[in-house]
Every structure is written in C-alpha cells, then in structure tokens.
Structure 1
C-alpha cells in the first residue's frame, strides 16, 4: 500500500512540521524526570520514605525503560512509528498529572506510567531521525539531544522555586511539566495529518528486515553500543537524583544546589550540540568516547577531593554527561543501516542499558545510607566513567551491526 503523494506546499510545510515535531518531543522527554531530584527531600518528608525508598522511586522510570523498550518494535510495526509515538506522548501527559495526585498509589503508579511512555519515546525517536534524516543523523541527534538537555536543565532549575511559589508545593511543581508533553502531542498529531503517515508504509515495518533483527542480540558491536548507553545513563541518573543532595551536604542551599543541577545540564546542552554538529565529519567516534569518560572521572574526583570548586566540576561533569547521551543516541543510528535496525538496536540498548542505569540511584542511595556520606558514591561514578570510556572507544569504531 502506498501513501498518496504530497503537494509541493504540503511537502514544505510537512518538512517544517517534521523537524519541529522532533524538537518538541525532545522538549517533553526529560522534565518529568529531572524535576524530581531537587525536591526529592521534600517528597521524603511528605511521604516518610527513606533514602533507599527515594532512590527506588527515582529508579522506577528506568526499570520501566528496561521492561518496555524490547516491546516497542513490535508495537510500532503494528501501529506505525508515528501513531505509537503520539500515543506515548498522550500517556506521558496523563502520567505526569496522575503522579501529583495525593496518595502513594498515584505517586508510584504515575511514575510507572511516565517511565513507560518515555521508554517508547526513547526507542522511537532515533528511528524517526534515521528514517527522516538519513544523511544527517549526527546533526539532528545533536539538535534534539541538546534541546532535551536544555529542557531537563530548566525543569531541574525551576523545581525548587516552583515548589516554593505554587500551592501544594512539590506536587504542583511537578505537574507543570505536563505542558511540554501535551504541546508535543498536539504537534505530532498535526504532523500525522500533514504528512499523511500510514502505519502500513512505515520503514520500520518492512518485512525483509524482520529475520535479521534476531542477529542484533548476537552482535558484539550492538553490545558495545548498549554498554555505552547503559553506563552513561547510570552516571546521569545518579547525578540527576543525588547531586543536589551531595551539594547540600557540602553547605549549599537547596536553591543553589538546584541551580548547580541546572548548570550541569546547560553545560551538557551546549557541549553536546557543539560536538554533535561536527560528529558526522569524523572518521569514527573513538576519541570522543574516551574523552567523555576521562572528563567525568576528573569531575567526580574534583567533587570528592576539592569540593570548594564544585561549580567547575559540575560544568565538566555536565559537558561529559550531556555529550555522552548525544553520542550514545548517535551511535544507535550510525551503527545501523535502516530505521528498522535502528529501532531494534535502540530497543536493545535502552532495555539492557536502563536496566543497568536503574541500579544507579538505588545503589547510590544505599551507599549514602550505609556510609552516612557521599565519597563512596563519587568513587562509584569514577568506576562507571572508566567503563563508559572503554565502551565508547569500542562502539566508536566505524562499523555496522549487520553486514550490507
């Protein structure tokens, strides 16, 4: 079945909507997660949860990522990439609202819904970029990951001020971030209408790709990309969850600690866009992978040994962390030959990767509870960064998961 051709005017408008749609989806993907860290202590005081319990709450979306990601390819084949993505945006909006309803069932249930929705978006957005921008994967990935980091930064920076300003405190501060997801859903619905997308003609559903998809889990390169995704995600979610608490224990006010988290993510946004926009010109990405691991090691050791220079270490950590997610997402597209393979590798990398990442906030919370301080957590970050640099070097080689 073939979709009817677009007129010239529709084609130009559709191209604008396609780019804008990707950017708006990226805007809505992280605020629901990064807005939680700065108010985690308030959630604990309100609900009576321990540090380990709060770490588990922060890990619930990551567990959802791990559980849902392998299933996304099948759902997208049945419904089409774009319809599936629209459904996920609607689900994300609903989950953010439900999470702020009083009561533990809504807090945990809404958080699980949020994780499920973002898992779908995580897997499908690289496939959309591969399908719609096949010659500009790195540049488009850099653009949307920079926007994603920027939105995450704004959410983390405004979380405490909004909780202080708005009624119902942290609950209202978190519900605000349903707006970007809703706007993205409206934009994606417009995209569906203007581009006349049909699930039957999605590139991801092409039958010849299906048998080869089973080979993805046997590919050493796919596992290297997966490890790079998992380790950078583990580091990011440890920092997003616990950096405000680490800095508060070092004498900063909650508002100042939230501002440092904002700075971390703004630094990541700038660095990821700057490096990512030139990534396609590089022969391979091995040097970038190693550099990012080294940068995070320096930042973690700096916070551990010279905490007075926290702002400097936060900026370095942000540059490393923000560029790491851009690199991991780019590698998913660069190491595959089609949107179908991209969807499969994305599902694999984000399933196993986020299962690993889910252990990060919980382990960090347990280490803090056990030791009563943060050095063990920072040493953990150093070890993870060394592993990430190694995985980045291996995954950065200019190869494909499948032969031509």
Structure 2
C-alpha cells in the first residue's frame, strides 16, 4: 500500500463510520412512535384518524422537504446541510416530547423534515466518496437505517416504562442524534469536494421528462408506503389480533432487525444478474408472504412472518436506494434523482399510513386491510419490472440528459 493510499483509505473508513452513525438516527423518530400510539391516544384523546395523521405527517415531510437537499447542498455545501438537518432533528425530537398536543405534531413535522433532507443527501455523498462501490456502500448505510428502526421499535415501550412515560421515551432519542451531530461536526471532511459535477445539464425539468426517473420514483414510493405502514400501524394491527403492546412492539422490532441482513446482502445479490429485476421480485415476494403470515395465518406462524417481512423490506428499500446510484452516471445526477425519487416517492408513501388510519376509523376488517397491503406490493412489483432494467441516465456532450 502506498503512502498516498493510506490517508485515502482512512478517509473512506471514517466516512463509512459517520454514515452509519448518521443512518442510525434516520428511523427511530419514525419507528419509536408506533408502539406508543395506544398510550398517546389514551392520554391525549386523539381520534384514530388524528393518530393516522400523526403517523402520516413525518412521511409526508420526507417527501415535501427532500427536494430541499440538493438546493441547500448547492448553496451551503453538503456537509453543512447535513449538520443543519441533524440540528433540526434534535429540535424535533425534543419538542414532540413536551406536554402539548400541538408540540407533538410540530416536533414530528420537524423530525420528518430533517430526515427528508438528510436521507436525500446521503446517496449523493456516497456516490461522490466511493463511485466504484456505491451500491455496496449504500447497503451498509441502509443496514444502519434498519438497525436504527429496530432499536426505535423494540425499545420504545421499555424506555417509556423505565423513564416514566411515553413523552420521555420519545425525547430520549435526541441523545443519539446529539452524538451523531457532534461526531459529524468534529470529523466531517474539511476539504469537501463539490457534488455538482459536471456543472451544466440534467435539470429537474429534463429529469421529469425521463420515464426511467418516474419508474424509480414510483418504485420508491410504493415500497416505502409499505415500510411506513409497518412503522406506523403494524403494532396496532397485531394488537387487534390479541398481542400485548410490548409483544407487538418487539415483533415489529425483530422484523426491522432482520432487515439488517437483506439491507446489506441485497445489493450484493443484485450484482449476479444482468439487472435488478429478479432481486426486486424476490424481496417483494418476501414482503407479501410476511404480511400475510403476520396478519392472516395462525399465530404460530408469527416468527416466519417476522423473518420474511424483515428480509423483504430491508432488501426492497436497499435496492430502491441502490437504483438511485446505479441509474445515474455521476454524483450530480444521483443527487437530482435522489431528490425526485425520495421527494415524490415519500409524498406518495405518506398516503399509505393515512389510508390505514382511515380504514381503522371506518372499522374495516383486518382481511380487507391485508388485501390493500398486498395490492400495494403488486403495484411495487410492477414498477420494479420497469425500474430494475439495466438502464442509466447520462449527459451527452452538449449537456442534454438522455437514457441509455
């Protein structure tokens, strides 16, 4: 190993560790809420529809604020933008634990906005730092997201019991975000390279004219809708089957923990084929099987359901993020496609938790809710067949965007 390569290797390892630490903070704000919904509803008197709005709000914010990430990165730099997002996340986590219903909603909104900005920025940073292995590095980052989600789901009830209430349980996740902020400010690259290369071409208007961009966005939206329905409502649906709130929370947490395996393995598996369609169909099939086993099959099938659902959702999210990298020729286009795919995709995904809240408000049967979820899986599979093809967005010599 040359003397010059050692600093580069250390820089990449440090960047990877920072991405993992930041990624750990981008799901607990979402997954920690679901196991506590019944306690929140009892204490605040919110209706099922209002609770549904509470679960929908952060996902909607992911979509609404995601397009801000490229805009902010261009003006203040990607590193400072991530610093800002972590600061907003901490403020949101602290605010939603204050004894006020409006603060609960405002804090949730801020947390969702921060996650939308940070989550959109990270794929472009990954493409910039490690262009040759960006798909596998995205898998590592996604694994961190899944671990954070599992911790949020599994520890919410124990933290509420230990700290004396659901508000303190929600506030406690601000500590992890504070650690990430300090680490990022202290160790982020001091001589950052601009993400925007090349300078011309690939505007958002051009991107919207490319069917491939829409296909990636719709895949992101449909599979994310399933993920946030699970984050927002799976414990409640399981409790309707007779599980205790603690057991329902742990089942969801275990499912999210299983996502670690497929989040890391799915991009590697996708390299074996000519494109990502077989891998995408495999993981979406696991999602369908896991949901059916958990919501319809005999209770003795709950653990196979947990495993299948976790493998499917970890793999589908990891592959959806990986497609943003694989379907673009450079980091600038990755940032643009990330803003579109996550902005539009999460806006679409927000309709999922809201729809389940409406169905519960109308006292629709669990059989009907299960059917709705399986139809969303089918839609995701259809978009996967299009987005999973081996195609890429690129710029020609004149700076015009095209697909090849």
Normalised by the length of structure 2, the TM-score is: 0.93
Query: What's the CA shift string for 1:60-88, capped at 9, x where partnerless?
Result: 11111121112221111001111101110
Query: Which structure has more helix as a fraction of its residues?
Result: 1
1:12 positional shift: 4.8
Instruction: Compute the displacement of 1:304 (Å).
Output: 4.1
Write the mapping of 1:61-140 to structure 2, written as runs, cut at 5 A. Answer: 61-140=58-137
Report the CA distance shift for 1:282/1:372 in structure 2 as closer, same or farther (over 3 A). Answer: closer
Residue matched to 1:3: none
Kindly report which structure 2 residues correspond to 1:127-276, keeping only aligned pairs within 5 A, or say none.
127-167=124-164, 169-192=165-188, 195-198=189-192, 201-204=193-196, 206-209=198-201, 211-276=202-267
Q: Distance in 2 between matches of 1:60 and 1:92?
A: 14
Match of 1:336 among 306, 324, 328: 328
CA distance in 2, matches of 1:376, 1:307: 17
Q: Hey, what does 1:32 align to over in structure 2?
A: 29
Q: What CA distance in whole angstroms lies between the structure 2 residues aligned with 1:297 and 1:285? A: 19
- 8 A Cα contact 2:153 2:249, kept in partner: yes
Q: Where do 5+ consecutive residues of structure 2 fail to align? A: 397-404
Match of 2:376 among 372, 384, 387: 384
Instruction: Give TM-score scaled by structure 1 length.
Output: 0.93
Number of residues of Structure 1 aligned to a counterpart in Structure 2? 393
Aligned counterparts of 1:296 and 1:125: Cα–Cα separation in 2: 25
Q: Using the alignment, how far apart are the partners of 1:213 and 1:304 within structure 2? A: 41
Secondary structure of residue in 1 paired with 2:132: coil
Contact 2:197–2:330 (8 Å) recurs in 1: no
Is residue 266–residue 318 contact of structure 2 (8 Å, CA) maintained in 1?
no
Gaps of 5+ in 1: 1-5
Q: Distance in 1 between matches of 2:313 and 2:13?
A: 30
User: For residue 340 of structure 2, what is the aligned residue in structure 1?
Assistant: 348
Look up the SS of the partner of 1:402 in the other structure: strand
Distance in 1 (CA, whole Å) between partners of 2:179 and 2:318 is 23
